[in-house]
Structure 1
Amino acid sequence: MRCATSVQALGVRSTMGRFVLAVLALTLVAATGACGADTASTGGQRGPATATLTDLDPVPIGPEPTPALPVTVRSFDGAEVTVTDASRIIAVDRYGTLSQIVYALGLGPKLIGRSTVAIPAIRDVPNVAGGNGSLNLEALLALRPSVFLTDDVTVTPQLREQLRGAGVNVVFFDSKRTMEGVVPQIEAVANALGVPDRGKRLGQRTRGEIDAAVAAVPKQDPPLRMAFLYLRSTAITMLAGPGSGADSLIAALGGADAGAALSEPFVTITSEAMISAAPDLLLVMTDGLKSVGGVDGLAKVPGIAQTPAGRDKRVVDMSDQVILSYGPNTGRVITALSQAVYGNAPA
């Protein structure tokens, strides 16, 4: 579709007529900003959007396997742990990553305990973290776990020693959330459960999905300034910084991390911090956004309304179950967020 009609095409010969039409044509071009520009070339979608996965459950790499046990692995806390039985698995961490990996390895039927955050496929598995996220030793031991998978953010050193003292095999994993750490984490879990070949296959599939998703993200010059906000009602509103996991996700989306100058992974939101960060776009968890009253409620959080993202109501939310899980769904997460941010159609 042509944006402007040439003076010659209209057959106007008078000097005044040509002048008037030329001014009109230039005005039309300026008003449209060059017709045919797509959403990506203007910085992506405007206003709020939800990044959606058609299925939050990762696809298992195969049917339920038979673990090759016993196996001795080095836990992330430095201990040597010998796993002799993987028939009763508890997997607990802040974002439900470990239980997702167990499920994707085909060992979902062996899960007997999970985190508060969990994919739909394992919602019937007991939540051992409880409503406040704390772990109770007696409740854990009552489930008779054969192996306990966790990280040092979730389990305190005291609880670790209590569990090991009670004869529970506790294997710790790295709590850092980065794109580079996704596949090693998958392989480490698989090794601890006696299914190393499954881990390699799942890792290869996940790496391929991540690489393809990142390659498909539209390039922006300059990149969008994105800020990840952690929200739990207006009482807990935090801006993510380096080491939060959100920084790696923003990089995968081709964005500039508006929280890069922070000294901590998460800091309490203040007007000064948000205005200084000046994000063009806000990334949030869906339940977190609901807890503050949606996009309109978010605008009442200090400093939000004074940012470019706040003025444009440019907010992208995604399910709490997957957005920072950094597990087998990571490639699909990047693709869904890219589509919500930039408006690009799926391949």
Structure 2
Amino acid sequence: MLKQARVTALALGTAAMLTLTGCASWDNTSTTNAALQKELQEGDIQDIANATGPARVDSLAEVEPVTDSPSPALPVELTDADGNDVVVDDVSRIVALDLYGTYTKTLRGLGLGENIIGRTVSSTEESLKDIPSVTAGGHDINVEAVLNLDPSLVIVDHSIGPASAIDQIRAAGVTTVV
């Protein structure tokens, strides 16, 4: 009897899920997107909480740098997210490591794209296609590959790792900011 009740509950749950997802408007996004775009251009959005837009973005244009000749005010002293006191005095050879490729986009935006010498597989910008990836599967840092690039600065967060890899890079004397 208990088994039959579980099967019935599973069947009802599955039917409810299929019914609810069948009501979604994923197949009508072009009309919705056109209407939203018109509202945005005209500044006529009345109910921003219920505004809808694209469900997926296939690709984005590369970030445009704010300057072509950046001149960072160095040295910079900071305490990173791991509690380490760090002095950044050279940004000429940067390895930027995070799961989503955000750091390379940010560095490009600051005009430091030419200084990036290593990246994760998530940094897919066309301008970085010849820059070596130093991660395996997007998550695991290859310490040897990082050190072989002779970076002056590694910018990293704990979305990739392991933490011991970050510690090894720091222990090798490379300025590392988490």
Q: TM-score, normalised by structure 1?
A: 0.35
Match of 1:127 in 2: 133
2:61 paired with 1:56: yes
2:101 paired with 1:96: yes
Match of 2:72 in 1: 67
Asked whether the 8 Å contact 2:122–2:138 carries over to 1, the reply is no
Residue 160 (structure 1) shift:
2.1
Asked whether the 8 Å contact 1:71–1:83 carries over to 2, the reply is yes
Find the aligned partners of 2:166 and 2:88 in 1 and give their Cα distance. Answer: 16
Match of 2:116 in 1: 111
- 1:284-323 superposed matches below 5 A: none
- Gaps in structure 2 of 5+ consecutive residues: 1-33, 37-46
- 1:1-347 superposed matches below 5 A: 50-51=56-57, 55-118=60-123, 119-131=125-137, 133-172=139-178
Residue 62 of structure 2 aligns to a residue whose secondary structure is coil
Match of 1:28 in 2: none
Asked whether the 8 Å contact 2:99–2:138 carries over to 1, the reply is no
Would the alpha carbon gap of residues 39 and 117 (structure 1) be closer, same or farther in structure 2, given more than 3 Å must change? Answer: same
Asked whether the 8 Å contact 1:128–1:135 carries over to 2, the reply is yes
Find the aligned partners of 1:165 and 1:144 in 2 and give their Cα distance. Answer: 14
1:90 partner amino acid: V
Pairs aligned (count): 132
Residue 39 (structure 1) shift:
5.3
- Percent of paired sites with the same residue: 36
Residue 146 (structure 1) shift:
0.5
Residue 87 of structure 1 aligns to a residue whose secondary structure is coil
Residue 136 of structure 2 aligns to a residue whose secondary structure is coil
Larger Rg computed on CA atoms: 1
Find the aligned partners of 2:157 and 2:67 in 1 and give their Cα distance. Answer: 26
Higher relative contact order, structure no. (Cα contacts within 8 Å, ≥ 6 residues apart): 1
Residue 141 of structure 2 aligns to a residue whose secondary structure is coil
Asked whether the 8 Å contact 1:113–1:127 carries over to 2, the reply is yes
Find the aligned partners of 2:102 and 2:55 in 1 and give their Cα distance. Answer: 24
Would the alpha carbon gap of residues 44 and 132 (structure 1) be closer, same or farther in structure 2, given more than 3 Å must change? Answer: closer
